[in-house]
Structure 1
Amino acid sequence: MHKLYDFMEARERLSTITVKTKLLHSEVFSDECGNDVYIKPENLQITGSFKVRGAYNKISKLTNEEKVRGVIAASAGNHAQGVALAAKRLGIKATIVMPKHTPLIKVNATRQYGADVVLYGEIYDEAYQKAMELQKEHGYVFVHPFDDEDVIEGQGTIALEVLEELPDADVLLVPVGGGGIVAGIAAAAKLKNPQIKIIGVEPEGAASCKAGLAAGHPVKLDEVSTIADGTAVATIGTKTLDYVKQYVDEIVTVSDYELMEAFLLLVEKHKLVAENSGILPLAGLKKLKCRGKKVVAIVSGGNIDVLTISSMINKGLVLRGRIFTFSVNLPDKPGQLVAVSQMLADADANVIKLDHNQFKNLDRFHEVELQVTVETNGEEHIKKIIEDFKQKGYTIKRLNSTEILSE
């Protein structure tokens, strides 16, 4: 386990490569959870993620003989870029094994930093096995994305920056995948201030940390299913789990739907774009049991492709009640569409889509079903629309979010 001065030395080591990302106060997230919320935007870090910290710290500490051999890593993307950039800065050959379905933006960015990229496997764990094979075959030095003391030490420098800027922070919310960032931040923060509370946030569909804590040792999940691809790790690290046991106060999980909602708020209110794994702490704010505390959410990365951004915004709008889809049964006679359109116009609801199907309602022969999607100002606006329709004799059936999102 590390001492506080280890993290301080690592911070000095990283001073030439990292950006000192300043805390941003968030009124909207503060209102959402009843605490005083600050965002640590590591998505603005060089390479777009915190991962460069651990990678550079590890590689810069290699011996000359190890540097000559070159390095290899397995990564879903952000660690890959961190290793690639660190190796380039230090004049070392780097090979990166990435899962086949890693977002193209991460693959291209890694290649642009000069690394050789090998695409292999469906998830991180399969890419990891391939990297171990290549390491044995070529004698490379393996740079683990999370289960490595030097990598953990590098990630912990985030906590030093946070507590230098906000010494009286009460809670740090940190994303959890393999456990590297939560291990480093928790250790450094607790060594600096033993009273601070550390909460790890992981996706419901990849809760390997919770599973490891329950078993008392790392266990492999039978299935990993989450939109947070950077934290889609089936097995938490052995070293990182030990850190979690010693320094982390609580682990909470969030759903994909909660991630979509947090994504929309971050983009709309702060004009910041983060990847799904990076916003785990923001989604986790609603899981806090405390009120009135100073809370820092670590937004860990921002490497996300444009198509995913579009999808996340649209789904976030649905979940926040900004897009409202409903069905209503209408008498099968002329003029009904005009009447519905007029009611929506009077309610200041902008129609996005209409589906008027004369053959869909088989239960009631003389009625047709109309499905409507409108843009609204939120839940209060939706309630007003439902009430307006009710007063005119129409009963709206709201289509729930999971129905809409699965289409």
Structure 2
Amino acid sequence: MTQPQNHYLERILTARVYDAAIETPLELAPNLSRRIGNQVLLKREDMQPVFSFKIRGAYNKMVKLSRSELDRGVIAASAGNHAQGVALSAQKLGCRATIVMPATTPRIKVDAVTRRGAEAVLVGDSYSDCYLHAMKLVEESGATFIHPFDDPDVIAGQGTCGMEIMMQHPDPLDAVFIPVGGGGLIAGVAAYIKRLRPEVKIIGVEPTDANAMYLSLKLGERVNLPQVGIFADGVAVKQVGEETFRLCQELVDDVILVDTDAMCAAIKDVFEDTRSILEPAGALAVAGAKAWAAREKVEGQTLVAITSGANMNFDRLRYVAEQAELGEGREAVLAVTVPEKPGAFRQFCGLVGARNVTEFNYRYSADDKAHVFVGLSIQNRSEVTELIEKLAANGLPATDLTDNELAKLHVRHLVGGHAPQVTNERLLRFEFPERPGALLNFLENMSVGWNISLFHYRNHGADYGRILVGIQVPPQDDAEFAAFLDKLGYPYWIETDNEAYKLFLGS
């Protein structure tokens, strides 16, 4: 399957994508450009008929199949957007399609596949789980497997996105930012752009918890991640492709990692400039461009970010909105200790000044002092340091909880929960792939002999399920409790010593 890099130029120039795909616009993001001091251009792949670039590669692969191959049908494994590309291509080419998708795939993507006449089979938590099941179906049925990224025809189809960027922007261009899952899009775009304009930097962007390409390039070989984060489900891939990795080793200049908060902030950035709502993976490139510009301290450059998809579940928007301000560094979360005496709150409010208060939680807990959980709108992080120093100088010590996951995800919804009568409490934070029945399964596994003294769960759409649990475990049960946690099998963090817990929830 390995192809010399130069062969991809011809493959891309002759790719058949426009029977199903459109040439998407390259648009200036004026607000974002002003904020980061660079010209940011958005390559609007979210405007494709299936709201994702994936239609390019899927159709270019399938249109080259023989009639007999099409008659046997096609099978694909996909986190969602490739599935829609294959389904639309099958509809246009008149063939049967079966798509194996993770059970965590947003409903909007599953429905989009079935509406086009394809069969959706939901299996596992990641692309890798789906791939194994899809290969079993291929063996049983004789259908043709349409790989989402590791295929020269798919790579060439995605490469037409890079061809359009070069045609649409013949002026000087400094860097192109590309989301990375299995690597098909970045491999195709890089193969075209580096062949014609080798001075243009090609920079991949991955989530911090799904960084297979970053690690593979760093180690010089393809790694297989034991698990991947699924917030950006469109790039939830445990191992990048063999051919895509080869091309990326030759052509990619850098890979930037961004977290969930940064993706949420990027979704908001694009909305403010275009009034369009991207999915998390679709906003990866924008988040990466911002992070790279800040890291490199560049100004006045021209940066292209590929907005790769807009298949967003509506029920995710609540979580995105909550995290966006934190991701942009526009909100700070503080714990402030205030004396329980008349006038103390007025003094605190006076020190906060004209800043917008986004959240304020308080409950009486002792005769001498109170702990206040407060969210504040800020312009930059230095403002937080100055405010904490100002509060401390006036006898109101404060703790910055802005980067404290326990505080952001749980404590802000549980303030006022001191329980002096609870002894031997261990606080643990768990994550599990969100899907119907997952919470019930967790609760059944938590049916143990120790008393559960605290429990908090909040649905965030198709993200991880996040649960905070307090369990009363006497010291003599340490070994048994450790064995129980290992057997439980969920990722967990022990938060008993977390400052937010001590201030607002601990006994």
TM-score, with structure 1 as normaliser? 0.89
Deviates further, 276-285 or 87-96 = 276-285
Q: 3-state DSSP class of the match of 2:278?
A: coil
Please point out which of 87, 92, 96 is paired with 2:90: 87
Instruction: State the partner residue of 2:360.
Output: 353
Instruction: State the partner residue of 1:402.
Output: 404
Does 2:21 match 1:18? Answer: yes
Please point out which of 228, 232, 235 is paired with 1:231: 235
Instruction: State the partner residue of 1:45.
Output: 48
CA contact (8 A) 1:226 1:256 kept: no
Instruction: State the partner residue of 2:415.
Output: none
Within-5 A mapping of 1:21-170: 21-167=24-170, 168-170=172-174
Q: CA separation of 1:367/1:221 partners in 2, compared to 1, >3 Å: closer, same or farther?
A: same
Does 2:307 match 1:299? Answer: yes
**Residue 123 (structure 1) shift:** 1.3
The percent identity for this pair of structures is 37
**Residue 299 (structure 1) shift:** 1.1
Task: Name the amino acid aligned to 1:400.
Answer: T
TM-score, with structure 2 as normaliser? 0.73
Q: CA separation of 1:204/1:373 partners in 2, compared to 1, >3 Å: closer, same or farther?
A: closer
**Residue 212 (structure 1) shift:** 2.4
Deviates further, 27-36 or 63-72 = 27-36
Instruction: State the partner residue of 1:369.
Output: 371
Q: CA separation of 1:57/1:406 partners in 2, compared to 1, >3 Å: closer, same or farther?
A: same
Q: CA separation of 1:387/1:366 partners in 2, compared to 1, >3 Å: closer, same or farther?
A: same
Q: 3-state DSSP class of the match of 2:173?
A: coil
Deviates further, 50-59 or 237-246 = 237-246
Q: CA separation of 1:155/1:372 partners in 2, compared to 1, >3 Å: closer, same or farther?
A: same
**Residue 25 (structure 1) shift:** 1.3
State the distance in 1 between where 2:388 and 2:35 align: 25
**Residue 198 (structure 1) shift:** 1.2
**Residue-by-residue CA offset, 1:87-127 (whole Å, 9 max, x unaligned):** 00111110000011111111111111110010111211011
**More relative contact order, 1 or 2 (CA 8 Å, 6+ apart):** 1
Cα root mean square deviation, aligned = 2.5
State the distance in 2 between where 1:292 and 1:376 align: 25
CA contact (8 A) 2:183 2:245 kept: yes
Residue segments in structure 1 that go unaligned for 5+ positions in a row: 360-364
Instruction: State the partner residue of 1:197.
Output: 201
Residue segments in structure 2 that go unaligned for 5+ positions in a row: 411-507
**Residue 37 (structure 1) shift:** 1.7
State the distance in 2 between where 1:57 and 1:49 align: 15
Q: 3-state DSSP class of the match of 1:156?
A: helix
Task: Name the amino acid aligned to 2:375.
Answer: T
**Residue 30 (structure 1) shift:** 3.1
**Residue 246 (structure 1) shift:** 2.3
Does 2:22 match 1:4? Answer: no
Instruction: State the partner residue of 1:188.
Output: 192
Task: Name the amino acid aligned to 1:217.
Answer: E
Q: CA separation of 1:330/1:172 partners in 2, compared to 1, >3 Å: closer, same or farther?
A: closer
Task: Name the amino acid aligned to 2:18.
Answer: S
Deviates further, 134-143 or 261-270 = 261-270
State the distance in 2 between where 1:144 and 1:3 align: 17
